[in-house]
Amino acid sequence: MKTLTKSLPLQELPKPFTRFFGDRVVITLILAFIGIAILNQAQFFESLSFTLESLIGIAPFFLLAIAFAGYTKATGADGLIARAFSGNPVMTIFAASLAGALSPFCSCGVIPLIAAMLASGVPLAPVMAFCVSSPIMDPEMFILTAAGISLNFAVAKTIAASGMGLLAGFTVFGLQRAGFLHNPLKTKAHCSGCGPTFNANAKVEVTWRFWRQPDRLHRFIEEARSTGWFLSKWLTLAFFLESLMLAYVSPEWIGNLVGGESVFAIPLAAIVGIPSYLNGYAAIPLVASLLDMGMSPGAAMTFITSGAVSSIPAALAVYALVRKPVFVLYLALGLVGSVLAGFAYHLSVGII
């Protein structure tokens, strides 16, 4: 084996080998695990256990995302998705914002859909609206937020998700009309044939029973394999980083920073929420405890919305797909939108 490895250049090694050891995300993961093992052996085992348990917990959504990506590509349904979001720009932004706020997808499960839309030529404006609103709320999170915090807060958060999506969508639409943000997708991001321009007038041929055609079945297998690899490496990195934040970021520290009732706590909550937020479900008891510690409702809304957009899984999902200027804009829009949502909620409960 050593002789084979030394005698062949990296590009001539088997594809699984080069795909694994030639991937920057995989290399980062390996180095990170080695580093934490050297610095803190106990945390290494805790992070490894947390990462594995999180991957097992999300496995149903993971498999659903893979099946969804393969099915839309094999059947040709990705063309229908592109057509649905390629009509009147104003209407598609509204539709994407609302769909994101109400969709059942987690921030990881929506990656294939976002990639399919961008690769099919769907304009960036509705995609950005969907990207921003989707991680903030979903039906299951609405129920848990209503139970863990309050029904009023859950309803307000849903409205905030849609509003932040609208802000993001129309901002991108304006920038593109001014000549910016062309070719947003990374050339190496996961998608089959990134960059084609979608023709809204072209006939979309969909074969729902794709398995009857060998070429479509092959397309399904290839897309599922590619999506599975793409998701698995980024999710593993996301959960590993999340384990470190659980270990080293104290809720009491967050409470001391944003626990006051001053209006200045709202923009501060957005800044604190970006690096300290974990995920939508873990944030519910955290925000409930912060409210008990004296955080104003507006600051709590800002913290939970800014954190959702910039949470590790959501942020890595967007970063893996789009170019850096688009990613920076995504974070900026999430930050500004969350502050506006916080002030709006602050006013609505009669504090000011």
What per-residue string of b and e applies to 52-74 under the rule 16 or more CB within 10 Å gives b? Answer: eebeeebeebbebbbbbbbbbbb
Question: Which pLDDT tens digit goes with each residue over 128-157?
Answer: 898 888 888 877 778 878 888 899 999 999
Average pLDDT, the chain: 77
What does the DSSP 8-state code read for residue 197?
P
The answer to the question of residue 202 being in a domain is no
pLDDT at 158: 93
| Alpha-helical regions (H) of 181-279 | 214-248, 251-258, 265-276
Span 293-311, pLDDT tens digits:
777 888 889 988 887 787 7
Res. 76: pLDDT tops 50: yes
Whole-number pLDDT of residue 192: 39
- Residue 23 inside a domain? The answer is no
- What's the domain range around 161? 40-194+209-348
Greater model confidence, 155 or 12: 155
Residue 157 lies in a domain: yes
**38 or 139: which carries more pLDDT confidence?**
38
DSSP alpha helices (H): ranges in the chain? 2-7, 15-21, 24-39, 41-57, 59-75, 77-84, 89-102, 111-119, 124-133, 139-148, 151-177, 214-248, 251-258, 265-276, 280-292, 297-310, 312-321, 324-348
What percent of the chain has a predicted confidence (pLDDT) above 70? 72
Any residues with CB less than 8 A from the CB of 245 and at least 6 apart, and which?
A: 275, 276, 278, 312
pLDDT tens-digit series, residues 186-245: 755 444 333 334 444 555 677 888 888 888 889 889 888 887 887 788 778 877 877 887
Question: Does residue 95 fall inside a structural domain?
Answer: yes
Kindly state whether residue 11 falls inside one of the protein's structural domains.
no
In a domain, 92, yes or no: yes
Say which amino acid occupies 34: I
User: Whole-angstrom distance between the N-terminal and C-terminal Cα of the chain?
Assistant: 71
> Does residue 6 lie in a domain region?
no
Per-residue b or e along 310-344, where b marks 16 or more CB atoms closer than 10 Å to that residue's CB: bbbbbbbbbbbbbbeebbebbbebbbbbbbbbbbb
Rounded Cα–Cα distance for residues 177 and 199 (Å)? 19
Q: Is residue 3 part of a domain?
A: no
Structure confidence at residue 155 (pLDDT): 93
Q: How many domains does the chain have?
A: 1
Decide: helix, strand or coil at residue 322: strand
108, pLDDT greater than 60:
no
Answer whether 0.85 is exceeded by the pTM.
Answer: no
Q: Which one is predicted more confidently, 203 or 41? A: 41
